[in-house]
Copies of this chain bind each other. A is one copy, B any other.
Amino acid sequence: MVTSEKPASRPQSLCFNVYAKDCPTRMVLDRLGDKWALLVLDRLQNDVVRFNALKRDIHGISQKVLSQVLKNLERDGLILRTAYPTVPVTVEYSLKPLGTTLIEAVSSLTHWAETHMSEIQAAQHLYDASKG
């Protein structure tokens, strides 16, 4: 796609180049865009949790999606997967330090959400009322 080029006049506030596919911002947002990933990270924040416990706690997630999410998070170095050779096998997931720092960064966003949610809802009602 685009390799560089954006209106040159203003500072690159979000990212060196938000249009580049390899932009860090894009990647983090993709990760957050996965609505389940963050719930998994959150659930692991203070606990070591097994696969089925995650599935049970994060209500609504399917087995397939959970295993996908876990694989991605593990690949990113955010969580640790530990398998014990019991019968049947036991697998535990836990947060790595990198995952911990991400959760901490995210909390500023959640704080924003809690603070401004009422404003957003008010704006939505206003908008809906005026537009039909």
Interface residues of A, Cβ cutoff 8 Å to B? 1-2, 6-7, 10-11, 13-15, 18-19, 24-30, 32-35, 38-39, 42, 45-47, 57-60, 74-78, 98, 101-103, 105-114, 116-117, 119-120, 122-124, 126-128
Copies of the chain in the assembly:
2
Q: Residue A14 contacts which of B29, B42, B76 (CB distance < 8 angstroms)?
A: B42
Q: Is the CB of B98 within 8 A of A1?
A: no
Q: Is the CB of B27 within 8 A of A107?
A: no
| Shortest CB distance A65–B (Å) | 15
- The answer to whether residues A32 and B29 also contact, given A24-B114, A123-B77 and a CB cut-off of 8 A, is yes
| Shortest CB distance A5–B (Å) | 8
Chain B residues with CB under 8 A of A105: 108-109, 111-112
Q: Is the CB of B60 within 8 A of A2?
A: yes
A10-B45, A24-B114, A77-B124 given; 20 more Cβ-contact pairs under 8 Å = A6-B57, A11-B46, A14-B107, A15-B113, A19-B59, A24-B117, A28-B109, A30-B35, A33-B33, A74-B127, A75-B123, A75-B128, A77-B122, A78-B120, A78-B123, A98-B120, A101-B112, A105-B109, A108-B109, A109-B109
